[in-house]
Amino acid sequence: MSRSIVAKLAVSVFVTGAILLGQASAANIPVAVKALITDAKKEGELSVYGRTLKPTAIREFNKRLNAFYGIDVKLNMAGGFHTAKAAEIQLAVKKGAPTGIDVFWTSYATSFRLERAKALTKFDWTTLGIDPALKASEFGVKSHDVSLAFVSYNTNLVKSSEAPKTWDDLLNPKWKGRITMPRSPAVWVYMT
């Protein structure tokens, strides 16, 4: 990750917080972020992959980003199947090709794949004034949790008293062939 990409990441993290919390202002951001804004201005564009938003929401987010920092940066946002995009990024990194993405706004389960593929750069988030408790790893921070993860069962087929309550309960042979779940282990990761 180049310095300019880190700059754009820093800007996006702080803008997200500013928009969501509505309390921050560019005047009280950390010195490290101010130093990176110059690089972001030079590049002039920020590509974020992660959430599918309406074009009007992206335009409004872009307008607020520019107003907050006093910059003129074009914001590109796209979303889709994160596992597939992570695989594309892994391949691009392996081949030495540009990924076209500055910020990958995704789950830890997906980012872990990118960490293993050495597609991310370690960064000291505390220099940006980010609470160390929000650090997910040397590569990312927890910005929010919008995932509602749960296990459900058909109460017409399984009595509440017999429903599995733990992972070990699911290992009971009586559940063999009677359990469905997503391909991704993410649901289990989110519940831990």
Task: Provide mean pLDDT across the span 9-28.
Answer: 52
Percent of the chain predicted with pLDDT > 90: 14
Domain with CATH 3.40.190 in the chain: 3-134
Q: Which helix (H) or strand (E) holds 56?
A: helix 55-69
Q: What stretches of 15-151 adopt beta strand conformation (E)?
A: 45-49, 74-78, 103-104
Query: What's the fold here for domain 3-134?
Result: D-Maltodextrin-Binding Protein; domain 2 (3.40.190)
pLDDT tens for 57-82 read: 999 999 998 998 888 999 999 988 88
Percent of the chain predicted with pLDDT > 70: 75
- Bridge partners (DSSP) of residue 47 are 76
**pTM reported for the whole predicted model:** 0.59
